[in-house]
A and B are shown apart, each in its own frame.
Chain A
Amino acid sequence: GAVVSQHPSRVICKSGTSVKIECRSLDFQATTMFWYRQFPKKSLMLMATSNEGSKATYEQGVEKDKFLINHASLTLSTLTVTSAHPEDSSFYICSARVQAGEKLFFGSGTQLSVL
């Protein structure tokens, strides 16, 4: 089956620093990738949709200057949390859509803790 690799799995950083999270599709080309965040015991909230080679589309209420998304190739999308603050602490998960498919494959998630 299709595999999506997400790194790092866990990161702890100081307030004010930037953190980059990578999402790679290992054995397929992903024309579209989605980024979600999840607070403890809450559901996944869609943050943005990224299409290869174009700007990401952000959901209402998500700061695009805060959460920078780059989808430079068909197998890699990155989410950079800029100038992280404690309220950005959350679980971030990516998912990738197979070209011309409806099924989404999820990464294993990144737990971000901002001190």
Chain B
Amino acid sequence: KQEVTQIPAALSVPEGENLVLNCSFTDSAIYNLQWFRQDPGKGLTSLLLIQSSQREQTSGRLNASLDKSSGRSTLYIAASQPGDSATYLCAVMDSSYKLIFGSGTRLLVRP
């Protein structure tokens, strides 16, 4: 059974810092890996999608990497801003298009 773990569970940083969020998964037979952002009481915003054959994806200040063989992904956020404060969720998709989510990292960027 696929299990997705995210570390750290919570993170508080001053504005401007670069930071890394970690995600690991137990079964490397994934279709893709996705990173989402969730604001309190809201739905999900898709940030990045990495295909199983890809190593990384970039969007603006965000960069996500994938090492499928070791079951790891990282989300790198450059020059963090208070508006980046949210919960970041990592999820892996299996061949039936089901997404299995990690428990998330709650990020607070202090002004």
Q: How far is the CA of A49 from the CA of B96 in the complex (A)?
A: 10
A71 close to B (CB within 8 Å) = no
Q: How far is the CA of A103 from the CA of B32 in the complex (A)?
A: 10
Contacts of A93 in B (CB 8 A): 43-44
Contacts of B102 in A (CB 8 A): 43
Name the CB-closest residue of B to A31.
Answer: B97
Least Cβ distance of B42 to chain A in Å?
A: 6
With A43-B104, A102-B32, A102-B93 as contacts: A107 and B43 at CB distance below 8 Å: yes
Interface string of A89-115 (1 = CB under 8 A from B): 001010101000011111111010000
Among A43, A107, A108, max chain B CB count under 10 A is at A43
With A34-B98, A34-B99, A46-B100 as contacts: A108 and B42 at CB distance below 8 Å: yes
Least Cβ distance of A5 to chain B in Å?
A: 11
Contacts of B46 in A (CB 8 A): 103, 105-106
Secondary structure of the B contact surface, majority rule = strand
Q: How far is the CA of A36 from the CA of B91 in the complex (A)?
A: 13
Secondary structure of the A contact surface, majority rule = strand
With A43-B103, A44-B89, A102-B31 as contacts: A6 and B98 at CB distance below 8 Å: no
The reply to whether A103 and B43 form a contact with Cβ atoms under 8 Å apart is no
Contacts of B83 in A (CB 8 A): none
The reply to whether A109 and B97 form a contact with Cβ atoms under 8 Å apart is no
The reply to whether B43 and A6 form a contact with Cβ atoms under 8 Å apart is yes
The reply to whether B43 and A46 form a contact with Cβ atoms under 8 Å apart is no
B49 close to A (CB within 8 Å) = yes
Least Cβ distance of A50 to chain B in Å?
A: 12
B41 close to A (CB within 8 Å) = yes
Contact surface of A with B, Cβ cutoff 8 Å: 6, 32, 34, 36, 41-46, 49, 91, 93, 95, 97, 102-109, 111
In the assembled complex, 12 residue pairs joining A and B whose CB atoms fall closer than 8 Å, in A order, are A6-B43, A42-B103, A43-B4, A46-B98, A91-B41, A93-B43, A97-B97, A102-B31, A102-B32, A104-B99, A106-B36, A106-B46
